[in-house]
Amino acid sequence: MNKFSFSFLLFLLLLTSSAFAQQLNLIQNIKGREFTSLNGQWNYIMDPYEMGYYDYRHMPFDQSASGKGGFYDDREQKNKSELIEYNFEYAPQLVVPADWNSQGDIFKFYEGTIWYRKKFSAAPKTDKKYLLYFAAVNYEAHVYLNGKKLGVHKGGFTPFQFDVTGKLNQGDNVVVVKADNTRKQDEVPTVNTDWWNYGGITRDVLLAELPQTHINDYKIQLAKNNLNRIEGYVQLDGKDLAQQITVSIPELKIKTTARADASGRVNISIPVKKMTYWSPENPKLYDVVVSSGTDEVKDRIGFRTIEVKGTDILLNNKSVFFRGISIHDENPLLQGRLRNRGDMRMMLQWAKELNCNYVRLAHYTHNEEMIRLADEMGLMVWAEVPVYWTISWENPETYKNAQQQMTDMVVRDKNRASVVVWSIGNETPLSEPRHKFMGNMAAYTRSLDDTRLVAAALEIHREGYDLIVDDPLGEKLDLVSFNQYGGWYWGAPKDLPKYSFKIKYNKPVVITEFGGEAVAGYHADDETRWSEEYQESMYKYQLDMLSKVGALRGMTPWILVDFRSPRRQHPVYQNFWNRKGVYSDTGEKKKAFFVLKNFYDQMQQKYK
Ligand code: GCB
């Protein structure tokens, strides 16, 4: 090992341990705790010049000697001569959780800072601990409680929290959030994406009340490839750590008790004889109760194994075919992010109508509620981080950020049976720095969770009629997954059957994307772009071509529903919509829907 690679390894190790510290902090199953919701109407100030953050010399107020002067002071004029150039009390309101873009034309293309303010009442008790929890804010959030800064979080799709014990007033409190969705090259995602950059407090804001020593985290899942053993851990947080901890699953007559070690941790290993395993056909969830001397948390957990053997994917030891579809976190009817369980159920129900047993939640971490619904409704999930296209491969901060987003996703969703694949990224271009970055991401993700598959959406290259998959990253992944747009970005649909795949790896092939655009209700012959007939025939030829891949074990065509993207400019057909949905933006099924459903019906019979 040369000096450079040794120091790089050391650097990675350091990153890993700091990420792990964070991992231990993020609370598991926030909605299973005592909490007050801070959702609802928040006053807001749109601040494109960030005058609420910087003084006229462009120095941040919150880094000045007094720490005061910013909008987070939430001041009001007290006498007739006082000058204050903002006022939250008279400011208009935005709904939380929700992106701002879908709440008025003025916000549609807005990228920058919006300040949010919420007043709430609290009655903090001296023997309790309090967490202020944000399920997601896009992209950079500065959070202030009663005029004092709690901290900053970057990353638009993962949760974060602050310990506010001792910081809450009896009675009136005020929380101010500076949400900034400015795109930047070195961030994750980077400046260039094919989706709408929805800004704001897009997911729940909760104030949790916990016992001083509480159950902070737990993993209760089947051991790797073992249908007969539940394995995992429970982690306490607080001062009084050496407590008795009990994990019980009443329906299975399981009850196991052990004392936590000095760090508050108990590893669990429970043999199981007879249980109903979770599957899309029977998405069985068990009530699980974790209790300690001072705390108790209830959850609903499914148990299943997932593994790869040769070119097969085995769910509970049985070969499966992933009948999937890709989904963005967007409700086309609102033209905004999914806001609640109703929105999410609609999307997953549409996938079920297509006879899916699997969804790819692209291209970033979706709402925890979405994953919980997938658990309930019986849909396996590919979960992804926004390492998308050409991010800054050589910037260590960018790597750290990507790794942190993976940590937070795995920490949050590790008890969800539906999640079977962790995806480390999408369509990342080949280069040495990228191989290093992505290779490290793959190894890191496995170190966080060895019970699920690790994958990425790769690209192909073409030589004549050969479609070649030989990305070196493929060696480090469990699935051969790639996007290919034959019949849309290259090749005529009817020529697709002439192509054949040359795949270097002997692993299950799960195609992450193919597709093409169609405007619902526009009918023409099958060579006319944008028509439903074009998309329909392209799907037919694609499926003919793909059926010849012996190792084909699934796919998630692009995409369930038309979605909004600033990159899609055609004034007649697109108008800022990417029209590759098999459903239109109003939920109409296009002709391609039926081609795909028919194929999935056949696959369901074949893999019975
Ligand atoms: C892709 C991307 C996806 C785009 C899609 C398209 O390969 O992964 O995010 O939206 O192509 O429509 O071009």
Q: Which residue has the tokens 């060579």?
A: 527
DSSP secondary structure string for all residues of 63-131: GSSS---SGGG-----STT---S--STTS-EEEESS-SGGG-GGGTT--SEEEEEEEEEE---TTEEEE
Q: Encode pLDDT of 112-129 as tens digits.
A: 999 999 999 999 999 999
For atom 9 of ligand 1, the residue with the nearest CA is: 194
Cross-sheet strand order for the sheet of 113-122: 93-96, 40-46, 113-122, 171-180, 140-145, 148-154
Cα–Cα distance measured from residue 154 to residue 405, given in angstroms and rounded to the nearest whole number: 9
pLDDT at 268: 97
Q: Work out the percent of the chain whose per-residue pLDDT is above 90.
A: 96
Q: Structural domains in the chain?
A: 34-210 (2.60.120.260), 214-303 (2.60.40.10), 307-606 (3.20.20.80)
Cα–Cα distance measured from residue 72 to residue 115, given in angstroms and rounded to the nearest whole number: 8
Nearby residues of 350 by Cβ (< 8 Å), 6 or more positions away = 560, 561, 583, 587
* 3-class SS string, 508-565: CEEECECCCCECCCCCCCCCCCECHHHHHHHHHHHHHHHHCCCCEEEECCCCCECEEC
- Angle at which helix 396-413 crosses helix 432-448, to 10 degrees, equals 30
- Separation of first and last alpha carbons in the chain: 50
pTM of the entire predicted model: 0.96
| CA of residue 321 to ligand 1 center, whole Å | 23
| CA of residue 194 to ligand 1 center, whole Å | 6
Q: Which residue has the tokens 């208009």?
A: 92
Among the listed residues 216, 214, 141, 123, the one whose alpha carbon sits nearest the alpha carbon of residue 180: 141
For atom 3 of ligand 1, the residue with the nearest CA is: 194
Q: Compute the average pLDDT of residues 558-575.
A: 98
pLDDT at 2: 47
pLDDT at 25: 85
Whether 328 is in the pocket of ligand 1, judged by its Cβ within 6 Å, is no
Q: Is the pLDDT of residue 210 over 80?
A: yes
Q: Compute the average pLDDT of residues 445-458.
A: 98
580 touches 562 (CB < 8 A): yes
pLDDT at 11: 44
Q: Is the pLDDT of residue 306 over 50?
A: yes
pLDDT confidence bin for 74, thresholds 50/70/90: very high
100 touches 334 (CB < 8 A): no
Average pLDDT, the chain: 96
pLDDT at 292: 97
Nearby residues of 156 by Cβ (< 8 Å), 6 or more positions away = 136, 137, 138, 139, 181, 202, 364, 386
Q: Is the pLDDT of residue 18 over 70?
A: no
Whether 459 is in the pocket of ligand 1, judged by its Cβ within 6 Å, is no
Whether 99 is in the pocket of ligand 1, judged by its Cβ within 6 Å, is no
pLDDT at 10: 44
Interior CA angle at 120 toward 116 and 126, to 5°? 125
CA–CA distances in Å: residue 382 to residues 293, 324, 409, 458, 500 = 37, 9, 12, 14, 26
Whether 562 is in the pocket of ligand 1, judged by its Cβ within 6 Å, is no
pLDDT at 1: 42
Closest atom of ligand 1 relative to the 580 alpha carbon: 12
Whether 481 is in the pocket of ligand 1, judged by its Cβ within 6 Å, is no
pLDDT at 172: 98
For atom 10 of ligand 1, the residue with the nearest CA is: 194
Nearby residues of 92 by Cβ (< 8 Å), 6 or more positions away = 43, 44
Q: Compute the average pLDDT of residues 343-360.
A: 98
Cross-sheet strand order for the sheet of 318-319: 306-309, 312-315, 318-319
Among the listed residues 218, 229, 234, the one whose alpha carbon sits nearest the alpha carbon of residue 266: 234
216 touches 265 (CB < 8 A): no
| CA of residue 425 to ligand 1 center, whole Å | 13
Q: Is the pLDDT of residue 265 over 90?
A: yes
pLDDT at 273: 92
pLDDT at 17: 40
Q: Compute the average pLDDT of residues 388-394.
A: 98
Q: Compute the average pLDDT of residues 475-493.
A: 98
Whether 427 is in the pocket of ligand 1, judged by its Cβ within 6 Å, is yes
Phi-psi region of 83 (alpha: psi -120 to 50; beta: other; left: phi over 0): beta
Task: Choose which residue among 558, 562, 568, 569 to substitute to test ligand 1 binding: the one with the highest number of ligand atoms within 8 A of its C-beta.
Answer: 558
| CA of residue 222 to ligand 1 center, whole Å | 35
Whether 483 is in the pocket of ligand 1, judged by its Cβ within 6 Å, is yes
- The pairing of beta strand 113-122 with beta strand 318-319: unpaired
What are the respective helix, strand and coil percentages of the chain, to the nearest 5? 25, 30, 45
pLDDT at 367: 98
Q: Is the pLDDT of residue 458 over 70?
A: yes
| CA of residue 559 to ligand 1 center, whole Å | 9
| E runs forming strands in 126-204 | 128-134, 140-145, 148-154, 160-163, 171-180
Closest atom of ligand 1 relative to the 427 alpha carbon: 8
| CA of residue 384 to ligand 1 center, whole Å | 14
Q: Kindly state the tokens that stand for 438.
A: 């992505």
Q: Kindly state the tokens that stand for 204.
A: 């729940």
Q: Work out the percent of the chain whose per-residue pLDDT is above 70.
A: 96
Q: Is the pLDDT of residue 20 over 90?
A: no
| CA of residue 561 to ligand 1 center, whole Å | 13
Cα–Cα distance measured from residue 383 to residue 161, given in angstroms and rounded to the nearest whole number: 22
pLDDT confidence bin for 14, thresholds 50/70/90: very low
For atom 7 of ligand 1, the residue with the nearest CA is: 483
Q: Compute the average pLDDT of residues 62-79.
A: 97
For atom 4 of ligand 1, the residue with the nearest CA is: 194
Cα–Cα distance measured from residue 590 to residue 562, given in angstroms and rounded to the nearest whole number: 11
ipTM for the whole complex: 0.99
pLDDT at 34: 98
Q: Is the pLDDT of residue 369 over 90?
A: yes
Q: Is the pLDDT of residue 3 over 60?
A: no
Whether 558 is in the pocket of ligand 1, judged by its Cβ within 6 Å, is yes
Task: Choose which residue among 196, 387, 513, 530 to substitute to test ligand 1 binding: the one with the highest number of ligand atoms within 8 A of its C-beta.
Answer: 513
Q: Compute the average pLDDT of residues 326-340.
A: 98
Q: Compute the average pLDDT of residues 337-365.
A: 98
Whether 513 is in the pocket of ligand 1, judged by its Cβ within 6 Å, is yes
Q: Compute the average pLDDT of residues 40-69.
A: 97
